[in-house]
């Protein structure tokens, strides 16, 4: 595992990207998906505080992106997602994150995590739609 940024391949960063909450088995899932589905690992990012697990992992499978985390999307360390039938969220990687975010909030999405610059350098926020589906909006930050 490396603390280096995960390279972004524009060819697989289009459309809606599934982002799975893996409850502590993201690394194991990366290894399995490579064996089972021929996934190419694009990168793994450990938690910044040294906690066990991955805050982010990214794979390419059959020309599309799959992202995973061991992080609880509820921010309290619990795995309430499994209790609510959640799987993670759908990730939108867009050029104008603020416009996408504002439109979704105006339409009735509930803010779960505010849209703001994150420690990894991108602008990101998490919403929940009226049907209980979580959506993340991500605009990549300046590339160094």
Kindly state the tokens that stand for 89: 């969220």
> For the chain, what is the domain count?
1
Does 5 reside within a domain?
Answer: no
For residue 120, the enclosing domain spans: 14-139
Using one digit for the tens of pLDDT, what is the confidence trace for 59-104?
998 788 999 998 765 454 454 444 433 578 888 888 899 999 999 9
pTM of whole model > 0.85? no
- Name the token pair of 22: 């893996």
The reply to whether 1 falls in a domain is no
Residue 2 included in any domain: no
Cα distance between residue 136 and residue 107, in whole Å: 15
Task: Identify whether the C-beta of residue 94 lies closer than 8 Å to the C-beta of residue 23.
Answer: no
The mean predicted confidence, pLDDT, of the chain is 82
CATH code: domain of residue 57: 3.10.180.10
Round to the nearest angstrom and report the end-to-end CA distance of the chain.
Answer: 20
Residue 95 inside a domain? The answer is: yes
């Amino acid at each position: 595992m490396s603390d280096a940024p995960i390279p972004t391949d524009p060819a697989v960063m289009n459309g809606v990207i599934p982002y799975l909450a893996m409850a502590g088995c993201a690394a194991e899932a990366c290894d399995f998906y490579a064996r089972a589905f021929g996934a190419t690992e694009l990168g793994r990012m450990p938690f910044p505080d040294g906690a066990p697990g991955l805050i982010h992992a990214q794979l390419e499978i059959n020309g599309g992106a799959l992202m995973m985390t061991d992080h609880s999307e509820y921010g309290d360390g619990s795995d309430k997602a499994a209790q609510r039938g959640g799987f993670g969220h759908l990730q939108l990687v867009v050029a104008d994150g603020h416009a996408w975010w504002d439109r979704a909030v105006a339409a009735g999405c509930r803010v779960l995590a505010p849209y703001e610059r994150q420690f990894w350098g991108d602008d990101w926020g998490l919403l929940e739609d009226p049907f209980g589906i979580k959506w993340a909006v991500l605009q990549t930050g300046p590339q160094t």
